[in-house]
Amino acid sequence: MTATFLDRTTPPHIVTLVLATATGALAMNVFLPSLPGIARYFDADYAVVQLAVSLYLAATAVLQLFIGPASDRFGRRPVMLFCFGMFLVASVVTIYAPTIEFMLAARVLQAFSAAGMVLSRAIVRDTVSTDEAASKMGYITMGMAAVPMVGPAIGGILDELYGWQAAFLLTLGFGIVAFVVVYLDLGETNRNRSSSMLAQVRAYPELISSRRFWGYVLTAAFTSGTFFAFLGGGPYVATEMLGLRPSQYGYYIGMISIGYIAGNFLSGRFSRRFGINTMMFAGCLVATAGTFSALLLFGAGYFHALSLFGPTVLVGLGNGMTLPNANAGIVSVRPHLAGSASGLGGSMQIGGGAVLAMVCGILLSPQTGPWPLLWMMFFSTLGAIGASLYVLRIARTAGEI
- Distance separating alpha carbons of residues 147 and 166, to the nearest angstrom: 16
- Distance separating alpha carbons of residues 367 and 357, to the nearest angstrom: 19
- Under a CB-based contact definition with an 8 Å cutoff, are residues 12 and 185 in contact? yes
Residue whose C-alpha is closest to residue 55's, from 63, 66, 45, 44: 63
Amino acid letter, 37:
G
**Quick one: CA dihedral 265, 271, 273, 279, positive or negative?**
positive
pLDDT of residue 261: 83
Task: Tell me the Ramachandran region of residue 237: left when phi exceeds 0, alpha when psi lies from -120 to 50, beta otherwise.
Answer: alpha
Three state DSSP letters for 76-87 = HHHHHHHHHHHH
Q: What is the pLDDT along the chain (401 residues), one digit of tens a residue?
A: 666 788 888 888 888 998 999 998 899 888 988 888 898 899 988 788 888 988 888 888 888 888 888 888 889 999 999 999 999 999 999 999 999 999 999 999 999 998 998 898 788 878 776 667 767 777 776 666 677 667 888 888 898 888 889 999 999 999 999 999 999 999 888 887 776 666 666 767 877 888 888 999 999 999 988 988 887 788 888 888 888 887 888 788 878 888 888 898 888 788 878 888 999 999 999 999 999 999 999 999 999 999 999 999 999 999 989 988 998 888 777 777 776 777 778 778 877 777 887 788 788 888 888 999 999 999 999 999 999 999 999 888 876 55
- Distance separating alpha carbons of residues 312 and 256, to the nearest angstrom: 5
Give the domain ranges of the chain.
Answer: 14-186+201-398
pLDDT of residue 400: 54
pLDDT of residue 289: 97
- Distance separating alpha carbons of residues 259 and 261, to the nearest angstrom: 5
- Distance separating alpha carbons of residues 308 and 358, to the nearest angstrom: 19
Residue whose C-alpha is closest to residue 232's, from 369, 10, 49: 49
CA 252 to chain centre: 19
pLDDT of residue 363: 85
CB neighbours (10 Å) of residue 22? 26
For domain 14-186+201-398, give its CATH number from 3.40.30.10, 1.20.1250.20, 2.60.120.380, 2.60.40.1180: 1.20.1250.20
Question: DSSP string of 91-136?
Answer: HHHHHT-SSHHHHHHHHHHHGGGHHHHHHHHHHHHHHS-HHHHHHH
